[in-house]
Chains A and B, each alone.
Chain A
Amino acid sequence: MSVATEVSGATETASTRSARAERLRLLLRSPTFLFGMFVLLFWIGCALIGAQLVPVDPYADDMMNILAPPSADHWFGTDSLGRDVFGRVITGSRDILTIAPLATLLGTVLGTALGLVTGYFRGVIDDAISRLVEAVLALPLVITALLALVALGTSSVTVVVVIGLVFAPIIARTVRSAVLLERGLDYVAAAKLRGEGSAYIMFVEILPNVMPPILVEATVRLGYAIFTVATLSFLGFGIQPPSPDWGLAISESYGMINGGFWWTVLFDALAIASLVVAVNLVADAIHGVFET
């Protein structure tokens, strides 16, 4: 009996492993994934070492040289403080690529725990969560975040916490429906018969089997997080000066757009667009691989 269990357990691990390798192989052959990953890695690289590579210090202002159009010295021109726009665009991914993933991580961890508990036990908490999700979704994330940021004061930590807290019930809903499918399966019943505790069954037995939907949901959420952080920064409630953040740069410069200073906003807008599209391509490819 115990030998048979061992054997079937071993083959199962092997097949899971080969399924994982197969998915990875599919991902690496998907052009959308590769392209998205390339752009994403480019911006991650810029966030990490961009500051050392750019020819002009992105924080240095030059009052003799404000709002200069693109030239050989300043490839993307200079902004209203005479700062080099090229350097600021290259280093501008740093804050958003810190805040958005942290918020996503917080939301995913909280949401997974919540989803496991509500899916496994169901009952009253389950209904309460559904209602809460609906109330939270009745307001766009940007507005919920705005309210919380005005009330608590603007800071990066608040942005992370607010986005994470709003994501948690949404992710919990996805995890919950995956758990509902798992809890009736034989391996859960077997664990119960062995006398395992609920916490052990939820986090050691069920959790590894619901990882794929969690991963897919997390990558989709990362796209939303980047969208939201960029928008909040544009509104002046997200990343604060003197950061070279893209949304913030557009917020600082769009008031002068009538003067024709297109280079102060266009490159930042394109940078945000490329990052958002890249993350969504990656999320889409991962979603596609796990769906089949």
Chain B
Amino acid sequence: MIFGRLLAKRLLLSLVTLWLLSVLVFAGGQLLPGDVGRAILGPLADPQAVANLNHELGVDRPLLVQYWDWVSHFAIGDMSMSYTFRSPVAPFVVQALTNSLKLAAVAFVLVVPLSILGGVWAALNVGRPIDRIITVAGLSATILPEFVTGIVLILIFGIWLRWLPIQASWPDGAGPLTQIYYLILPSVPLFLVLFGYIARMARAGTIEALDSDYTRTAVLKGLPWRTVLWRHVLRNALLPTITVIATQTGYLIGGLVVVEVLFHYQGIGGLIYTAAKGKDFPMLEAGILTLGLIYTLATLLADLLYSALNPRIHFGAVE
């Protein structure tokens, strides 16, 4: 009952966020540039040609009509036509999204277990050198721009040691293992950014749980340390970590653009970058709105997962 109401409320809020986002993207893609035809054809083009192009693209219609046309088509998966390729945007976005998800998946599979392990390990050794090392290294890795860590990694592992390919695009017809091999180096900068955040949350949660009365009780009543750690400490400690992992998809997405450009990878970030360079507004808007949609869904999912796993919220003790 309470969970149902929570679900409805969260869904509604997500819809409001998405609507605001679509207005923001629409404003950026179709309002701010002013004369779209002029922006594409350049300052020296014939005014008649600009007017013709504007008419052809439909950008000479009233703004509200344009917005409704754009957003209603987007909602059913029709993302209008690319200015550059003069063909529908959707297939490009789907292909790019598939590639990006592969890259993100490799990064996630590496980072989630390792960062939780790192955070818990630091918490179990709080104050000792290993804790300091994990905390400081994690924090430093998190704040460095992805292209900075990426370029250093390329130099070390791609140029000097020649262990890994420095371009993420695998040859045609490569099997899954070869694809993963090509994605290892690009996923490391993403790994570094995420590691610090997740490890910090896992560490804080574990320290808090270790310090709690229920852990003390569990230890004093003679439970084996292993049981205390798994059943009492980690179950409580890792709840907030789940939320952080989901909200970090936002950072992951931002990092994707940079990493995909640096490693010449045809993902959604690469698509946005190419569209931005070529002033291909429909492609740019579609790419950005897709990212916003993914982020909003991930946040919603994290919220619900958190409530579902946390009995205190489940039974209505909170809110």
Tell me the A residues contacting B by CB distance below 8 Å: 131-132, 134-144, 146-152, 223, 227, 230-231, 234-237, 247, 250, 254, 257-258, 260, 262, 265-266, 269, 272-273, 276-277, 280
Contacts and interface: CB of A to CB of B under 8 A. Distances in A.
A159 to B, nearest CB: 14
B145 A148 contact: no
A119 to B, nearest CB: 21
Interface string B14-39: 00111011001100110111000000
B45 interface: no
Residue among A131, A138, A260 with max Cβ neighbours from chain B (10 Å) = A138
Given A141-B254, A277-B144, A257 B166 contact: yes
Contacts of A254: 151, 154, 262
B20 A135 contact: yes
B20 A142 contact: no
Interface string B251-276: 10111011001100000000011001
Contact of B257 (A134, A143, A262): A143
Contact of A237 (B13, B20, B251, B276): B276
Interface residues of B, number: 51
Contact of B21 (A138, A236, A258, A277): A138
Nearest to A151: B32
B44 to A, nearest CB: 16
B93 to A, nearest CB: 15
Contacts of B145: 227, 230-231, 234, 247, 272, 276
B155 interface: yes
Given A135-B24, A235-B273, A254-B262, 4 more contacts: A139-B288, A223-B143, A257-B159, A258-B159
Contacts of A152: 32-33
B32 A138 contact: no
Contacts of A227: 143, 145
Interface in B239-256: 250-251, 253-255
Contacts, number: 136
**Which of A134, A141, A143 has the most CB atoms of chain B within a 10 A radius of its CB?**
A143
A140 B154 CA distance: 24
Interface of B: 13, 16-18, 20-21, 24-25, 28-29, 31-33, 139-140, 143-148, 151-152, 154-155, 158-160, 166, 250-251, 253-255, 257-258, 261-262, 272-273, 276-277, 279, 281, 284, 288, 291-292, 295-296, 299
Which one of A131, A234, A277, A280 has the highest number of Cβ atoms from chain B below 10 Å of its Cβ? A234
A152 B262 CA distance: 25
Contacts of A134: 13, 17, 20
Most buried by B among A136, A144, A147, A250: A147
